[in-house]
Chain A
Amino acid sequence: MKWVFALMSVFALGNAFSQEGIKPIRGAVPIPETNPSDTYRMERHDRVLRRSHKWQPPIIPHNIKGYQITKNVNTCMTCHSRKAAKESGATPVGKSHYLDREGKEHPNISTRRYFCLQCHAPQFDAEPLVDNTFKP
């Protein structure tokens, strides 16, 4: 497996040098290696920000450091599941999350919605990495 990655990175690097027009955000760092991440502290806003367009998944208005989303447990659901939300006062999971891909409604949340962070991002006051021309 390792040599496949190594080979892939060699090709990737070769490509990057031959096509000078393309500048990936990750820079010249080969794919098997990781960029050093920015050290930042997650905001503790505690205020719900308004959505910027209609279908935007709401952003997470609180710190989620150490929250587990594993095979065993999804700690977001400790407060945000329909049942827990009644007690916790958190925003309950949206109706759409109970639909499977055929549009059939289930009593439990659909497994395709398991990974919350796939759509919902924690809010952070950051400059956009690239210009955005999206208009809702």
Chain B
Amino acid sequence: MKAWIKHVGLWSIAGLFTAGILFWGAFNWAFEVTNTEQFCVSCHEMQVNVFSEYRHTGHYTNRSGARATCPDCHVPREWGPKIVRKIQASNELWHKLVGSVDTPEKFQAKRLQLAESEWRRMKANDSQECRNCHKYDYMDFAEQSRRAVRTHSRAFDEGKTCIDCHKGVAHQLPPIEQEIGAPKAAAAR
């Protein structure tokens, strides 16, 4: 047996090792609890605004019953980016405290800003959260409509990413300027 092991003691090393496992397990468990839909929706801001509108969309209810929960789209799966996103999310705790979006009216007023920041995030990581389930390489074009085939092949050739076109698939959209009637005051694009 090596000298330093004798010095510290076999039991101390085993104890530290076990404590490490327990700490990591507890940390990871608590971390994952904050990564559930139930946790997100426990704030009424999420429940009343984004979750209630989400419930009418294809990612919540559909033919096959496969569905996505909040973190599937809004929290990266890879450990590094996940930690980064979680640390950024501590800012959201502050806004919960000061009540930045605690009424539907306040939420509507902020919708453009919130949507744009999420679009920016998804564009930056090449819509990684979409592609966790929807993998371009495995898309069977024969199963898609002609329109979808045409658009998908062209868009991918141009280096576009999912979120460039598929905005508002799970939530209501913010004001977008579309050349109908009088121009909108604050609008995307």
Contact = CB atoms under 8 A, between A and B. Distances in A.
Interface of A: 44, 46, 62, 65-66, 68, 70-75, 77-78, 81-83, 88-89, 107-111, 113-114
B118 to A, nearest CB: 16
B181 A111 contact: yes
A70 B172 contact: yes
Given A72-B173, A74-B180, 4 more contacts: A73-B178, A78-B178, A82-B179, A109-B180
Given A65-B58, A66-B57, A89-B150, A108 B181 contact: yes
Contacts of B150: 89
B175 interface: yes
Interface of B: 56-58, 111, 145-147, 150-151, 168-169, 172-176, 178-183
Contacts of A107: 179
Given A65-B58, A66-B57, A73 B179 contact: no
Nearest to B189: A78
A111 B56 CA distance: 26
Contacts of B111: 72
6 contacts: A72-B172, A73-B174, A109-B180, A110-B180, A111-B182, A114-B180
Contacts of B56: 66
A109 to B, nearest CB: 4
